[in-house]
């Protein structure tokens, strides 16, 4: 089914004008919305504006708009004055310059709209799209609509163009305001972190591999409630200990247990396996996350705790490279493991004796 445009406009390209139509890129009904109801009768509630000074409901015909120029002080505007404040909507998209696409950071992107040709604009539309595609440039333009003047970016997308509404530079907060404490990046830790990245790396962006699991679970619970069943919140696990040894957490993330966790979702999707870096075996096709969050101050995995406390054998097990479960060879008998088993063997007998006592 063809998309339905919500607006039309004209793209000015030098002395060329291209009639275009704008289409929404997303589904507005994708989210789950709950309504406010009266608990007594179940009727849907309506919003009202209440004056706190007079303690009365104010109707639409009694409302005026104003601007707070000082604390508690407003300047009021009439309908004619409001029209003078609003910019006339011409729906014109005036291209001002062409810039390399890689120079525009995605942090400036706010909204996206498909841009398609209107009647009589197919040839210049395709010409502009192909010219930008071959020059690897995007077009910065001004778009006047809905009483505002927007900064937009036109770029090639698929067989045509997409228009991205941008934020103005003064609408972005500077990253320098983000508090980041001093810390040393050590080379051994950096090497392990890069191995973790390579272990779950993918050369293609495949958004179809991801779904909104929270929305699916919410809809399942809503359907149960509609069917008359009772629903309850799932128990929340208590937070685990914070990571103390960063090196141990990195090694635990590369352990066979972590590799098995990452490989399980890949086997479920039954997608072709990809060769891992430097021939270590097949990397998981689905970008599942192993115990990597422990690196950035999340929870410490069990393998990481064993590695940080046990030392010796614990570190050796954690540092083992990740390989697929199907191609993994059985582990060889280890003298150290047999010594540990002999040392731990009397433990059950002591527990039995204590139980009888």
Domains in the chain, CATH or no CATH each: 7-26+87-170 (2.40.290.10), 188-197+240-322 (no CATH)
Give the pLDDT confidence score for residue 256 in this predicted structure.
65
Q: What is the pLDDT along the chain (357 residues), one digit of tens a residue?
A: 678 888 888 888 778 888 888 888 876 556 688 899 999 999 999 988 999 989 899 998 899 999 999 998 999 998 888 888 877 777 789 999 999 999 999 999 999 999 999 998 999 999 999 999 999 999 999 998 877 889 999 999 989 999 999 999 999 998 888 899 898 999 998 999 999 899 888 998 888 888 888 888 888 888 888 888 888 877 877 766 665 677 888 788 887 666 555 544 444 444 444 444 444 444 444 444 444 444 444 444 444 444 434 444 344 334 444 444 444 444 444 444 444 444 445 544 444 444 444
Residue 138, exposed/middle/buried by CB under 10 A (0-12, 13-18, 19+)? buried
How far, in Å, CA of 204 to CA of 211, rounded? 17
Q: How many CA atoms lie within 13 A of 261 on its CB side?
A: 14
159-206 pLDDT, tens digit per residue, is 999 999 999 999 999 888 889 989 899 999 899 999 989 988 899 888
Residue (of 28, 12, 11) closest to 20 by Cα position: 11
Angstrom distances, CA of residue 345 to CA of 240, 252, 305, 348: 29, 26, 22, 7
- Six token digits for residue 72: 């508690």
Could you give phi then psi for residue 90, rounded to 5 degrees? -95, -15
Residue 283, exposed/middle/buried by CB under 10 A (0-12, 13-18, 19+)? buried
The DSSP bridge pattern shows strands 92-100 and 7-13 to be parallel
Residue (of 133, 142, 130, 124) closest to 101 by Cα position: 133
Residue (of 88, 222, 59) closest to 146 by Cα position: 88
- Six token digits for residue 271: 């997608």
Which uninterrupted H or E stretch holds 117? Answer: strand 109-117
Give the pLDDT confidence score for residue 243 in this predicted structure.
53
How far, in Å, CA of 292 to CA of 131, rounded? 43
Residue with tokens 């009904």: 29
C-beta separation of 135 from 150 below 8 A:
no
Q: How far is it between the farthest Cα atoms of the chain?
A: 97
Residue 258, exposed/middle/buried by CB under 10 A (0-12, 13-18, 19+)? buried
3-class SS shares of the chain: helix, strand, coil, % to 5: 35, 25, 40
Give the pLDDT confidence score for residue 64 in this predicted structure.
92
- Six token digits for residue 22: 């704008």
Query: Cα(first)–Cα(last) distance of the chain, in Å?
Result: 77
Residue (of 3, 24, 18) closest to 141 by Cα position: 18
Angle, CA of 120, 125 and 126, to the nearest 5°:
115
């Amino acid at each position: 089914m063809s998309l339905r445009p919500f607006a039309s406009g004209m793209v000015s390209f030098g002395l060329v004008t291209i009639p275009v139509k704008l289409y929404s890129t997303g589904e507005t009904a994708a989210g789950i919305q709950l309504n406010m109801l009266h608990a007594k009768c179940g009727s849907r509630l309506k919003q009202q504006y209440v004056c706190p000074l007079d303690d009365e409901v104010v109707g639409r015909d009694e409302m005026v708009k104003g601007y707070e120029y000082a604390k508690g002080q407003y300047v009021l505007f009439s309908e004619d004055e409001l029209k003078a404040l609003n910019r006339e909507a011409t729906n014109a998209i005036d291209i001002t310059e062409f810039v390399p696409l890689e120079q525009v950071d995605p942090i400036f992107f706010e909204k996206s709209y498909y841009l398609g040709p209107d009647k009589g604009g197919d040839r210049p539309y395709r010409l502009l799209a192909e010219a930008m595609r071959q020059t690897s440039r995007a077009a910065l333009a001004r778009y006047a609509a809905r009483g505002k003047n927007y900064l937009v970016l036109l770029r090639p997308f698929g067989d045509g163009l997409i228009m991205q509404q941008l934020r103005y530079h003064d609408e972005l907060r500077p990253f320098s305001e983000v508090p980041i404490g001093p810390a040393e990046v050590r080379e051994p830790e950096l090497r392990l972190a890069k191995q973790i990245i390579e272990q779950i790396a993918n050369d293609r962006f495949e958004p179809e591999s991801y779904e909104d699991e929270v929305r699916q679970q919410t809809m399942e619970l809503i359907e149960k409630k509609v069917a008359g069943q009772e629903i309850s919140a799932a128990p929340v696990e208590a937070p685990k200990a914070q990571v103390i040894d960063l090196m141990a957490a990195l090694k635990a993330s590369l352990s066979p247990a972590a590799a098995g966790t990452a490989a399980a979702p890949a086997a479920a999707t039954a997608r072709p396996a990809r060769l891992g870096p430097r021939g270590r075996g097949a990397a998981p096709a689905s970008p599942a996350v192993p115990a990597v969050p422990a690196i950035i101050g999340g929870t410490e995995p069990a393998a990481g705790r064993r590695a940080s406390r046990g030392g010796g054998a614990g570190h050796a097990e954690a540092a083992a490279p990740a390989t697929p479960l199907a191609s993994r060879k059985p582990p060889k008998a280890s003298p150290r493991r047999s010594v540990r088993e002999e040392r731990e063997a009397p433990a059950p007998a002591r527990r039995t004796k204590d139980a009888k006592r």
